[in-house]
Amino acid sequence: MDAEKKRFRSLLLGQRRRLSAQEVNDTSQRILTHLRTFSPFLQAGTVVLYSAEADEVQTEAIWHEAVNHGKAVYYPRITADRADLKFVRRLPDAPLIPGTFNIPIPPGNDLLAELQTTDVVLTPGVGFDREGHRLGRGRGYYDRAFRGPLAHAIRVALAFNFQVVSKIPTGPKDERVHYVITGDGVVDCQNLSEKKAYGH
């Protein structure tokens, strides 16, 4: 399983690194357009976002969109022992500052306690499938957070089209997402049995 995950991770990260800045920006803009009509995002009072690397779906415009609609927005911060994530609120006009692994984070200590079922987590990832399986970087940060403070929220992955594959290798501790949004639109990963399990 680990070898298969490593192979997928290497393949998909390689494809991502080959994207041009124009391709990244164009897809990011199309995803923002989809979010503007995506009811879970529109109805959410709180949104968890991430600071994007250069070859990830960009999120700064999403941040502005959320703040302009009065949403509270939180970003992940790796804990001092590098074991887990905490989520820190980014206030309007607050610049991000370098954090652990040089990942930009909000300043301050306005920490998220727990999300509600109407809140949304916009999550990064290396790969996804249409059943909602998610392949991350291998450290398990988001999987643990999905079992902790983010457990009740709606999980929405942002991805380039090639990141949605036929089947992601998964283990027992890997958590699913509920939706994947690409430049082409929204993939609903929940079937009837999963809706009961997810609570949506």
In which domain, by residue range, is 33 found?
2-198
pLDDT of residue 143: 93
- State pLDDT tens for residues 76-111: 999 888 888 999 999 988 889 998 888 899 998 889
Whole-angstrom distance, CA of residue 33 vs CA of residue 52: 18
pLDDT of residue 151: 93
CB-count burial class (<10 Å; 0-12, 13-18, 19+) for 112? buried
pLDDT of residue 192: 34
Whole-angstrom distance, CA of residue 186 vs CA of residue 108: 34
What is the domain-level CATH number for residue 100? Answer: 3.40.50.10420
pLDDT of residue 200: 38
Q: What is the pTM of this model?
A: 0.90
Domains in the chain, number = 1
Print burial letters for 114-142: b (CB count within 10 Å at least 16), e (below 16).
ebeeebbbbbbbbbbbebbbbbbeeeebb
pLDDT of residue 32: 98
| Residues of the chain under the 50 pLDDT cut | 192-200
* Measured distance between the N- and C-terminal CA atoms of the chain, rounded to whole angstroms: 30
Whole-angstrom distance, CA of residue 44 vs CA of residue 182: 20
Amino acid at 58: Q
Whole-angstrom distance, CA of residue 10 vs CA of residue 169: 13
